[in-house]
Amino acid sequence: MLNYLIPFIIVILIVVFIHEYGHYYFAKKFGVGVTDFSIGFGKEIFGWNDKSGTRWKVCWIPLGGYVKFFGDRNVYSQADHEEISQKYSEDERKKLFTLKPLYQRSLIVFGGPLANFILALVIFFSIYTFVGKDFTPAVINEVEKDSPAMIGGLEKDDIILEIDGNKVKSIMDVSKFITISTDDIIDFKVKRSYDEIILKIKPKMVLGEDNLGNKINRRIVGIKIGAYNNQINHVKLGPTQAIFHAVNEVYFVSISSLKYIGGMILGKADTSQLGGPIRIAKISGQVADIGLLAFISMMAYISISLGLINLFPIPMLDGGHLMFYAFEKILGRPLSQKTQEGFFRIGMFMLLSLMFFTTFNDLKDLGLLN
């Protein structure tokens, strides 16, 4: 149990801290008073006050965090400015989040997800610079008999150039692109002798195991991949190339995640792979056993997911704030308190439904539910 719990807590503490620090950074930049910076919820374990009066604390439930602003009663309400002006002194009004210009409030809210994306960029940049990135061309060593690959026309010694329009830059890209595809047909662009051809392969779904031994539904085409000319091309990148590929990886993961979520909504993607804290904890422990590099890479992917999810236009998330600010910009005034509360209830229902669904999947993954 501790093998899962400790890596999970480390990941959550770092990723959540970075997220909340993004809010904190822009709040301080624009002169907003910050009363609390909390990692976790519930009763405080330990904490301290800094010179500006912010209480930095760690709480018992490590499933998130928050930054609380001075005078902030309800982060979704936009209280009457005249009422606020009468309640606080002139110096205090300068520290109120609700009285800041719209663009400053938007940047403060967006700062959290932005920090998560920056963390992922820093991790990928560091890996590509100091460890290296694989650029080994992928060649088909074997095509299984009567497999989707054989039926679709793939052959031994084909060099895979693209999958669904995504350039295959290394062996590892092949399984990644097949896994994230949600279409019934996968387009393979291969080089055969001197020709480049596009073949349409219809994968089949089978129950198997991932690299960590977890049961998953896998899309397979029936090929075995090897290195072109049996030569591994793993190189350390310079700063310019490293940042280029880091940005590309963050972009790819974000777009792929959105496509996957869209696929789930349309009923095309496998919803059984959607997990919550229990599954994240399990995978964190498994990846930590593999090594530090794999663990740090996983942290980058979780950070991207946290940043992306928080941008969804759901009240209670950062995207919910930004949605309200978009309405405020369009209408020239904030939405009424009653309207915001209506959105809030919808958002609460959506998040509780998602929590229930992911917990259900987690318990099935642990074998506690049939």
The answer to whether the beta carbons of residues 128 and 120 sit under 8 Å apart is no
> How far is 237 from 312, CA to CA, in rounded Å?
34
Whole-angstrom CA distances from 230 to 46, 137, 191 are 55, 10, 17
Q: Is there a catalytic annotation at residue 20?
A: yes
Spatial CB neighbours of 254, under 8 Å, sequence gap ≥ 6: 117, 304, 308
> How far is 161 from 174, CA to CA, in rounded Å?
10
Show the DSSP H helices in 142-185 as ranges.
Answer: 148-152, 171-180
The answer to whether the beta carbons of residues 134 and 168 sit under 8 Å apart is no
The answer to whether the beta carbons of residues 269 and 182 sit under 8 Å apart is yes
Catalytic residue among 20, 83, 155, 328: 20
> How far is 265 from 277, CA to CA, in rounded Å?
21
> Which token pair is 208?
């198997």
- The catalytic residue positions are 20
